[in-house]
Structure 1
């Protein structure tokens, strides 16, 4: 499900007029404030079988999303290419698995990862994080009973998402998606 709404939490036109691109800190502040908007969070339609999302107006021309996660759902391994971003869990709990390694940005199909690159974060309601360009991660709702809801923001608006498969230490680039693929 895809719906577009504009919360009154930011003024993208004012930020664009000032010529300032939002920083990771500004994106994190935005997603925290948005996640605290209980009326907005409660308005997200939840599907028992698939993720749902609503597009939001992010600060300074950023792309933002309110996402519902049914029990057991996740993103798979991916990155947001040249965008920086932030996300916060608004309700429920999410887990983020990420790689603490700088990967080459282009020109590869398969990489063997070192043993010490895996990180896991538990993100209960109110918790989140910002991340830089080329941050490879997967986000999961590991609950078997409860939906989770989160708020995400990216700048610049997502030019592409690279999707990966992972078998043990081997990370393989599987697909590159562009905005027209998911909007």
Structure 2
């Protein structure tokens, strides 16, 4: 008997390729989508040169697509916001790259600084806005790819989040 352990593996497990899972080319879990967003955020060469700021409307650029998902880059000048909305049948990961954004939902209001991530399921109602004095940049991953956004025209995020499919909602198709 071995004094170190009664269980031994013959050889190096890393030398047995059939026991290892092949790395996935594309994300398949929530954690992997969040990891994709973090890896893009960490490599400024992938996105920084693409960013534009537009004082009349929010600027956006589709950065990448994969099987069933999309990655979008958005910029926000002070005062710009998304309006109260959901993402139809899509789940998502929002990651702040630069500046500070504010998210309002029925769960409250929170400041999102660089590196902050928000993961949400279909039907999640929120508003994102830049109420700071400096521009902001964010990255958004949607699965499946974003095909509609329902805008909620209520007096407050708390009202709309409590009744997301009320008469105060309009669906905007994005594809």
Query: Which structure exhibits the higher relative contact order, with contacts defined as CA atoms closer than 8 Å and separated by 6 or more residues?
Result: 1
Deviations 1:109-156 (A, max 9, x none): xxxxxxxxx42221101111111111000001111x311000001101
Instruction: Identify the residue that residue 38 of structure 2 maps to in structure 1.
Output: 32
Contact 1:83–1:158 (CA under 8 A) maintained in structure 2 = yes
Count how many residue pairs are aligned between Structure 1 and Structure 2. 144
Distance (whole Å) between structure 2 residues aligned to residue 179 and residue 48 of structure 1: 22
Instruction: Identify the residue that residue 134 of structure 2 maps to in structure 1.
Output: 146
Match of 1:134 among 106, 123, 148: 123
What is the aligned-residue RMSD (CA, Å)? 2.0
- Aligned positions of 1:22-171 closer than 5 A: 22-39=28-45, 40-99=47-106, 118-143=107-132, 145-168=133-156, 170-171=159-160
The secondary structure found in structure 1 opposite 2:154 is strand
Cα distance, 1:50 vs structure 2? 2.3
| Structure 1, gaps ≥5 residues long | 1-12, 16-20, 100-117
Distance (whole Å) between structure 2 residues aligned to residue 155 and residue 44 of structure 1: 23
Instruction: Identify the residue that residue 6 of structure 2 maps to in structure 1.
Output: none
The secondary structure found in structure 2 opposite 1:27 is helix
Distance (whole Å) between structure 1 residues aligned to residue 66 and residue 104 of structure 2: 26
Instruction: Identify the residue that residue 110 of structure 1 maps to in structure 2.
Output: none
Structure with the bigger percentage of strand: 1
Distance (whole Å) between structure 1 residues aligned to residue 43 and residue 25 of structure 2: 22
Cα distance, 1:41 vs structure 2? 2.2
With normalisation by structure 1, the TM-score equals 0.71
| Structure 2, gaps ≥5 residues long | 1-23, 161-165
Structure 1 residues 84 and 134, CA, compared in 2 at 3 Å: closer, same or farther?
A: same
The secondary structure found in structure 2 opposite 1:87 is strand
